[in-house]
Structure 1
Amino acid sequence: MANDAVAGNELRASPAPPGDRDDPIRGVLAAYTQDLITAVDDLLVTFLGAEVDALTEIDTAMGRFAASTREAVLGGGKRIRPTFAYWGWRGAVGGDESLPPVLPALAALELLHTFALVHDDVMDRSTTRRGQPTAHVAVAAQHVAAGHQGDPGRFGEAVAVLIGDLCMVWADRLLAHATVPPARLFEVRRCYDQMRVETVAGQYLDVLGDNDAANWSVDRALRVARYKTASYTVQRPLLFGACLAGVPADAPLVAAYTRYGLALGEAFQLRDDLLGAYGDPAATGKPAGDDLRTGKPTTLLMLARQLATPTQLAALERAADGPVDRLAELVADTGAVARVERMIAERVGDALAALDAAPVDRTARTALTGLTTAATDRRA
């Protein structure tokens, strides 16, 4: 299931492939954890293959549905959450522990991530993800191609909800394959459940903000970032890794991971806000300006409204239904982009300070330092 480098005690640092050198986060992941990513993908392929086969035995249509779910999991992605969980674990255990016993738990986070993405795309009515049609759009196209009756869009959304649900169940099932002491696995499960609760809380606040933008604020936008992104992207995966290592909840390393993960996770989401407005669709895999076009109350847009002069605010309101390029230009003119860049820099500084004081394995410290920069200085 895992290659020889992973089956041993140490992951080797592989050089970044030439095609990844322009993508900071991919470059760092390749340099430090390419073998981990390969091992996670190999495990997911094996696990999902067995699950698809089992569902195909129920009905051939179930097999096609399960295959669509597998494609949603394996269709790209940087494997960020398993990576942070790995370094959270490795930072505690050092280089002498074997990876395979905890690998299923790390890979389960990718299934949880797919659950969140597929449901998020339905809620946001997004049409592309990672440069490909989103799950509900792809399923709707299959509905049309098959000549089925009914509304293809409604069918696509319904099936996408089930795809997300199945990923959640598969994540639970794969997590149970981790071979760690039962008492420790219980603590791991508690951490995992808290991550899921916080993800749902953040997603609800995100949906609420879309429907109550007039009463939103910078503080609430940051709260969404904290729970929708920071918790399940960086902070909780790190703590999940610490739990896998058997680190007590009151240990200094847990406090350091908590501070580091919150700061970096918020910075990661703030960078996403900027990329959503100004990023290159060829790199991000999503249309530019979607959040601005829909008036989504991100920290960027909330700051623009807060910083705008009366004249600028009136211009922002007038531009809301016009070309998105003009709206993006007006947002930048308020100073909101520069302010968000400063907020990112402040959080990166806080994350690195937490890491400097953490009682963490030296190799893990090096990797996490590199990932801090890569997660916040990126094009996708």
Structure 2
Amino acid sequence: MANDRLTGNLLRVVPEQPIGADEPVLAVLAAYTQDLVTAVEKTLTDFLESEVDALTEIDASMGAFAATARDCVLAGGKRVRPLFAYWGWRGAAGGGEPLDPVLPALATLELLHTFALVHDDVMDASTTRRGRPTAHVAVAAQHSAAGRNGDSGRFGEAVAVLIGDLCMVWADQLLAQAALPPNRLLEVRRGYDRMRVETVAGQYLDILGETDPANWSVDRALRVARYKTASYTVQRPLLFGASLAGVDEGAPLAAAYTRYGLAVGEAFQLRDDLLGVYGDPTTTGKPAGDDLRTGKPTALLMLARELASPVQRQALDGTGAQSGDPEITRLAEVVTDTGAVDRIERMIDERVEEALSALEAVTIDETARTALVRLATAATHRRA
């Protein structure tokens, strides 16, 4: 895929003015990354077809299992992580370098993402993802329909864990296919490993917070956002892309990417917190109000409790009781009335400003700079 074609798509569709909050992020991302997304999808499809065939040779049931894992990877999504990694690479490499050598590495991030999603859905007992049944729910339904022995739900969860594990192994295999000098690939792998460790750390803090929400705080919720989301959604993919181009982690560009990535990544999670309560399920692909049902200590809910009046606090203390839809609607209104939603919106805007400031004082490919400026807004003012 020619880089100038990617550039042409970007320059044709990215407006001079910042992207507004009402413009769906899916349309924005697809418009100026169509070629990249297509290339990532083809890389994943070709790789997974070979892997599914190899596992089918072990046993027909293994083929079906591998096909389920493949379908989880290819089920859609915004492909945000390869996108940030691409622009991180492009910002350092410029427009003259061929994409093919690094394409397997970019696609690797989607396998890592699927690993995280499938395991996260088991931990959160989520029933839908991207408008479809989650992996453990789908596998449980298959188990039940086949009339097999044992508990269908338990079987579904066990298989989903294995699906996530398989995606992690596949990610390692695909990363190894990047056509890079061995020393550079080793440096890329070191950053990739740090990203994985930070993802696990953030996930642990996330589930820990659900067990002790009374002793959680806004600061700790933001720490979860930093490690669970900012690190492996924006910051580390950008640095991953830079390392693909041979940028040292101590370079000014790496420092700018870190500053930008943490700011946009935290804003991305703060937007997720809002969508988790107020999002349209037909757009987000997930039920609205799940965080209120479980009492998940997000920054939004922690801030609402800090700002709440005694009466409002009493209502909010009732979250986590698996309440019905009417009660969830009422609790969402209480959160809004505390002023927490407005405060979160301001926090998002502040982080976007911080991210844009990080790009101003660093030498970077101008097309990449334009893309990252637009992405800072697109990724944080979205409806899904």
What is the TM-score normalised by the length of structure 1?
0.95
What residue number does 2:29 align with? 29
What residue number does 1:328 align with? 332
What residue number does 1:38 align with? 38
What residue number does 1:279 align with? 279
Q: 1:375 to 1:356 in 2, by over 3 A?
A: same
What residue number does 1:341 align with? 345
Alpha-carbon separation, structure 1, partners of 2:121 and 2:86: 27
Query: 1:33 offset after TM fit, Å?
Result: 1.3
Alpha-carbon separation, structure 1, partners of 2:361 and 2:184: 26
What residue number does 1:182 align with? 182
Query: 1:10 offset after TM fit, Å?
Result: 4.8
What residue number does 1:378 align with? 382
Alpha-carbon separation, structure 2, partners of 1:298 and 1:309: 19
- The one-character-per-residue Cα deviations of 1:277-319 (angstroms, maximum 9, x if unpaired) are 0000000000000001110000000001111111221132356
- The one-character-per-residue Cα deviations of 1:131-175 (angstroms, maximum 9, x if unpaired) are 000000000011011111100000000000000000000000000
Segments ≥4 residues shifted beyond 6 Å: none
The residue type equivalent to 1:232 in the other structure is: Y
Q: 1:31 to 1:358 in 2, by over 3 A?
A: farther
The residue type equivalent to 1:238 in the other structure is: L
Structure 1: unaligned runs, 5 residues or longer: 1-5
What residue number does 1:214 align with? 214
Alpha-carbon separation, structure 2, partners of 1:370 and 1:195: 24
The residue type equivalent to 2:268 in the other structure is: F
Matched, 1:202 2:206: no
Alpha-carbon separation, structure 2, partners of 1:198 and 1:157: 24
What residue number does 2:18 align with? none
Alpha-carbon separation, structure 2, partners of 1:12 and 1:35: 10
- The one-character-per-residue Cα deviations of 1:78-98 (angstroms, maximum 9, x if unpaired) are 110000000000000110000
What residue number does 1:312 align with? 312
The residue type equivalent to 2:253 in the other structure is: L
Alpha-carbon separation, structure 2, partners of 1:30 and 1:13: 14
Alpha-carbon separation, structure 2, partners of 1:311 and 1:368: 43
Alpha-carbon separation, structure 1, partners of 2:6 and 2:334: 47
Q: 1:163 to 1:318 in 2, by over 3 A?
A: closer
- The one-character-per-residue Cα deviations of 1:38-82 (angstroms, maximum 9, x if unpaired) are 000001000000000000000000000000000000001111000
What residue number does 2:368 align with? 364
Matched-pair contact (CA < 8 Å) for 1:295–1:320: yes
What residue number does 2:235 align with? 235
The residue type equivalent to 2:259 in the other structure is: R
Alpha-carbon separation, structure 1, partners of 2:195 and 2:320: 35
Q: 1:60 to 1:318 in 2, by over 3 A?
A: closer
Identity of aligned residues (%): 74
Matched-pair contact (CA < 8 Å) for 2:7–2:367: no
Q: 1:197 to 1:375 in 2, by over 3 A?
A: same
Matched-pair contact (CA < 8 Å) for 1:108–1:175: yes
Partner of 2:367, secondary structure, is helix
Matched-pair contact (CA < 8 Å) for 2:296–2:320: no
- The one-character-per-residue Cα deviations of 1:204-235 (angstroms, maximum 9, x if unpaired) are 00010011111111111000000000000000
Query: 1:31 offset after TM fit, Å?
Result: 2.7
Alpha-carbon separation, structure 2, partners of 1:143 and 1:233: 33
What is the TM-score normalised by the length of structure 2?
0.94
Q: How does 1:26-175 map to 2 (within 5 A)?
A: 26-175=26-175
Matched-pair contact (CA < 8 Å) for 1:199–1:229: yes
What residue number does 1:300 align with? 300
Q: 1:326 to 1:46 in 2, by over 3 A?
A: same
Alpha-carbon separation, structure 1, partners of 2:8 and 2:143: 45
Query: 1:248 offset after TM fit, Å?
Result: 1.2
Alpha-carbon separation, structure 1, partners of 2:195 and 2:3: 29
Matched-pair contact (CA < 8 Å) for 2:294–2:319: no
Alpha-carbon separation, structure 2, partners of 1:222 and 1:44: 33
Q: 1:116 to 1:55 in 2, by over 3 A?
A: same
What residue number does 1:3 align with? none
Alpha-carbon separation, structure 1, partners of 2:128 and 2:142: 16
Alpha-carbon separation, structure 2, partners of 1:313 and 1:248: 49
Structure possessing the higher relative contact order (Cα contacts under 8 Å, 6 or more residues apart): 2
What residue number does 1:269 align with? 269
Query: 1:357 offset after TM fit, Å?
Result: 1.8
Alpha-carbon separation, structure 1, partners of 2:29 and 2:206: 29
The residue type equivalent to 1:282 in the other structure is: T
What residue number does 1:11 align with? 6
Partner of 1:264, secondary structure, is helix
Matched-pair contact (CA < 8 Å) for 1:267–1:347: yes
Structure 2: unaligned runs, 5 residues or longer: 14-20
Alpha-carbon separation, structure 1, partners of 2:196 and 2:5: 30
The residue type equivalent to 1:51 in the other structure is: E
- The one-character-per-residue Cα deviations of 1:336-371 (angstroms, maximum 9, x if unpaired) are 111111110110100011112221100001111111
Query: 1:25 offset after TM fit, Å?
Result: 2.1
Query: 1:8 offset after TM fit, Å?
Result: 5.6
The residue type equivalent to 1:70 in the other structure is: R
Q: 1:320 to 1:207 in 2, by over 3 A?
A: closer
What residue number does 2:357 align with? 353
Alpha-carbon separation, structure 1, partners of 2:277 and 2:362: 35
